[in-house]
């Protein structure tokens, strides 16, 4: 059933309403078993007008490939009700402690969508549409948020040659707070640390990301890795997510606070709209990381253009009301957050606000 969820979500050509109906059916069947005994407790956790409920899903690495956010009970999908982050449990049974980056001053932003040579058009142009859209979004935010974003340290490399060494140098020396990669990825299900993003001169592996970040003076606060897979051979849903997990683990193990990425391939339009809605919520509304992703999901699902009208809501029970409302897309369902969902951009700008006493406490599941 878990694998069926992945296969349903991975079909980017399916009709959105049908996809969501099938995801709801599978999520309900799984929720009956997985959420038994805790469903009522979760149902009592309701968001208020000015505060969402944050939830951390703790799980071993072997289960990270599955979309647990899509579990359902009679109150609805977890992903619709909570601002969710993921935390891996190590083989020793421990949950690694989250690190809080500290660097005062305006945000430094990096957007990279490298040109990649290749015969297949999908490979050659992967990520350029999203990269341009995110760069335009950051450009608008520069005008709207003077003093919050550092214009002298906003760099975009869109649809132009970027080598692995170029990117490693940027990570190592420029102290970027937010790094957005949009492009092509390759994924190794056997050795996730050899999963990679593709640059002009070849692959940038997860273990190289880890090594580069370990030598950086300041680690990014957030990495958004929107790497879409090109041609897939047979049933490679597992390898796709293991690759995302490999890059996320490489980042979080070196002190990056959060990593956002897809569980499965989503189309270019959904990818660019998801990213823009996420950053507008995070930087303009100053939401937490988890709430920003929740709002972005709903924006893509319902096609709502005015982000100020979006709120994380508690849906009514049953599939007939919300789940059958005509959705614009099902691509939102596969985007997940690795890391603590509670930090806000203000905590990055003002490290003194990141103390345990001032941070919202997420519920763990």
* Cβ atoms within 10 Å of 96's Cβ, excluding its own: 12
On whether both 121 and 165 belong to a single domain, the answer is yes
Query: Which residues does residue 73 pair with via DSSP β-bridges, in sequence order?
Result: 76
Of 282, 281, 262, 279, residue with least CA distance to 332: 262
On whether both 217 and 305 belong to a single domain, the answer is yes
Of 280, 278, 284, 281, residue with least CA distance to 337: 278
Domain count, the chain: 2
pLDDT of 304 higher than 50: yes
Cα dihedral 297, 302, 307, 312 sign: negative
- Minimum mean pLDDT among 117-121, 210-214, 248-252: which range? 117-121
Q: What is the pLDDT averaged over residues 263-272?
A: 84
On whether both 152 and 185 belong to a single domain, the answer is yes
User: Tokens 């994924």 map to which residue?
Assistant: 187
Range of the domain at 67: 2-89
- CB of 290 within 8 A of CB of 84? yes
- CB of 270 within 8 A of CB of 329? yes
pLDDT of 110 higher than 90: yes
- Nearest 5°: phi and psi at 319? -90, -20
CA distance 354 to 347: 5
76: tokens are 């609805």
Among 89, 118, 141, where does a domain finish? Answer: 89
On whether both 122 and 207 belong to a single domain, the answer is yes
On whether both 45 and 174 belong to a single domain, the answer is no
165: tokens are 């060494």
- Whole-number mean pLDDT of the chain? 80
Chain centroid to Cα 327, Å, comes to 20
**pTM of the model as a whole:** 0.84
| pLDDT value at residue 282 | 94
Q: Is residue 94 part of a domain?
A: no
Q: Is residue 365 part of a domain?
A: no
On whether both 71 and 175 belong to a single domain, the answer is no
Q: Is residue 144 part of a domain?
A: yes
Q: Is residue 337 part of a domain?
A: no
On whether both 257 and 125 belong to a single domain, the answer is yes
On whether both 6 and 149 belong to a single domain, the answer is no
Model pLDDT for residues 45-103, shown as the tens digit of each residue = 887 777 789 999 988 877 777 889 999 999 999 998 999 999 887 655 545 555 555 56
Q: What is the pLDDT averaged over residues 149-167?
A: 93
44: tokens are 């009592």
Cα dihedral 321, 315, 340, 141 sign: positive
- Minimum mean pLDDT among 129-143, 173-187, 202-216, 311-325: which range? 311-325
Report the Cα–Cα distance between both ends of the chain, in Å, rounded. 20
| pLDDT value at residue 178 | 95
On whether both 79 and 113 belong to a single domain, the answer is no
CA distance 16 to 334: 13
- CB of 329 within 8 A of CB of 276? no
Q: Is residue 100 part of a domain?
A: no
Q: Is residue 342 part of a domain?
A: no
Model pLDDT for residues 1-34, shown as the tens digit of each residue = 777 887 888 787 888 888 889 999 999 999 999 9
Distance set, CA 104 to CA 40, 151, 153 (Å):
42, 16, 14
On whether both 322 and 296 belong to a single domain, the answer is yes
Q: Is residue 37 part of a domain?
A: yes
On whether both 117 and 245 belong to a single domain, the answer is yes
Q: Is residue 29 part of a domain?
A: yes
Burial 2-15 (b: 16+ CB within 10 A, else e): eeebbebbbebeee
On whether both 139 and 23 belong to a single domain, the answer is no
What CATH number does residue 195 fall under?
A: 3.40.50.1460
């Amino acid at each position: 059933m878990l694998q069926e969820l992945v296969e349903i979500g991975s079909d980017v050509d399916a009709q959105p309403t049908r996809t969501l109906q099938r995801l709801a059916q599978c999520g309900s069947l799984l929720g009956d078993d997985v959420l038994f005994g805790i469903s009522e407790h979760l149902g009592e956790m309701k968001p208020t007008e000015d505060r969402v409920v944050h939830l951390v899903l703790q799980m071993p690495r072997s289960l990270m490939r599955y979309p647990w956010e899509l579990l359902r009970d009679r109150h609805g999908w977890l992903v619709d009700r909570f601002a969710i982050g993921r935390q891996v449990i190590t083989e020793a049974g421990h949950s690694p402690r989250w690190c809080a980056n500290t660097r005062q001053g305006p945000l430094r932003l990096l957007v990279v969508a490298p040109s990649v040579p290749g015969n297949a058009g999908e490979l050659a142009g992967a990520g350029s549409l999203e990269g341009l859209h995110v760069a335009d979004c950051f450009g608008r935010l520069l005008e709207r948020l003077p003093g919050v974003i550092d214009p002298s340290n906003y760099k975009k490399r869109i649809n132009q040659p970027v080598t692995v060494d170029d990117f490693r140098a940027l990570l190592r020396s420029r102290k970027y707070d937010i790094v957005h990669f949009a492009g092509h990825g390759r994924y190794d299900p056997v050795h996730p640390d050899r999963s990679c993003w593709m640059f002009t001169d070849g692959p940038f592996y997860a273990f190289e990301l880890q090594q580069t970040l370990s030598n950086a003076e300041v680690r990014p606060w957030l990495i958004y890795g929107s790497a879409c897979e090109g041609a897939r051979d047979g049933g490679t849903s597992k390898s796709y997510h293991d690759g995302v997990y490999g890059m996320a683990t490489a980042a979080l193990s070196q002190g990056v606070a959060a990593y956002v990425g897809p569980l499965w391939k989503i189309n270019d339009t959904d990818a660019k709209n998801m990213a823009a809605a996420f950053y507008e919520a995070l930087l303009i509304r100053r939401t937490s990381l988890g709430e920003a992703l929740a709002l972005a999901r709903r924006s893509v699902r319902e096609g709502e253009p005015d982000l100020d009208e979006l709120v994380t809501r508690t849906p009514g029970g049953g599939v007939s009301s919300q789940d059958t409302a005509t959705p614009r897309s099902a691509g939102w369902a596969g985007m997940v957050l690795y890391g603590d969902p509670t930090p806000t951009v203000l905590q990055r700008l003002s490290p003194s606000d990141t103390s345990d006493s001032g941070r919202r406490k997420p519920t763990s599941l």
